[in-house]
Amino acid sequence: GIKYCWVFTSWGQSRTLLRTPTFQAGHSGLRKGRRALFSSPPSYVRLSSLLTMSSHKTFRIKRFLAKKQKQNRPIPQWIRMKTGNKIRYNSKRGHWRRTKLGL
């Protein structure tokens, strides 16, 4: 008979494999051949794999990166006027290649 089975890959997608018995010359007995059918799995399978996948960034690191992104900007011109040109640039400005954040 023909049997179907679900095969789950590491990145959360799934494929249906169709198992059919095949005969090959020179071999005695039955060998199982596999042919991939690219049909979409049921919605509950897709939903469960979506819910069980963890995120790459934790929320704490994401918040830290968002703060650094906001801090990484030049100083406004009105600050140069207010301080009498004593503060000319943002000395803590980050560059992606020169200085690292130290995560």
Same domain, 76 and 40: no
pTM, full prediction:
0.47
User: For residues 32 and 25, what is the distance between their CA atoms, to the nearest angstrom?
Assistant: 14
Q: Where is 51: in which H helix or E strand?
A: helix 43-52
Grouping H, G, I as helix, E, B as strand and the rest as coil, residue 31 is strand
Separation in Å, CA 92 to CA 42, 56, 62, 73, 98: 52, 28, 20, 9, 12
Residue type, 61: I
Name the burial class of residue 69, with classes exposed (0-12), middle (13-18) and buried (19+) by CB atoms within 10 angstroms of its CB: exposed
Same domain, 47 and 78: no
Q: What is the CATH number of the domain that holds 61?
A: 1.10.1620.10
Among candidate residues 35, 52, 69, the one where a domain is terminated: 52
Give the per-residue pLDDT at 74: 98
Among candidate residues 17, 33, 52, the one where a domain is terminated: 52
Same domain, 103 and 60: yes
For the chain, how many structural domains are there in total?
2
Chunked mean pLDDT (size 10), the chain, 103 residues: 59 55 53 58 67 88 97 97 97 95 91
Give the per-residue pLDDT at 13: 59
